[in-house]
Amino acid sequence: MAGNNNIPSQVDKEQIFGMAEKEMEYRVELFNKLTHTCFNKCVEKRYKESELNMGENSCIDRCVSKYWQVTNLVGQLLGSNRPPV
């Protein structure tokens, strides 16, 4: 069965599944940190209204945007093995 070289073995499948599981855990943790950080920064401790006001919405938009920018920058720097500029 020389034509089956492209079929992943059981070990390969387990490794791929394990990597996908770690990636999902990382993304959930990242989302939870982002939510916690931006909520604490932008939303008043005492709720006055049932929905976010315009200031809170703007703050959350900026916070999430900056959080993703920094996360992407750190990921790029770690991936390139370069010192930060």
pLDDT over threshold 60, residue 12:
yes
Distance CA 81, CA 61 (A): 30
In this predicted model, what pLDDT tens digit does every residue of 22-65 receive, in sequence order? 989 999 999 999 999 999 999 988 888 889 899 999 999 999 99
> Which tops the pLDDT comparison, 36 or 2?
36
Please tell me the pTM assigned to this model.
Answer: 0.66
More confident residue, 1 or 52: 52
Q: Which residues, other chains included, contact 16 with Cβ-Cβ below 8 Å and sequence gap of 6+?
A: 8
Q: Tell me whether residue 74 is in a domain.
A: yes
In a domain, 21, yes or no: no
pLDDT of the residue at 4 = 56
Q: How many domains does the chain have?
A: 1
Q: What is the pLDDT of residue 7?
A: 72
Residue 77 lies in domain: 32-40+55-84
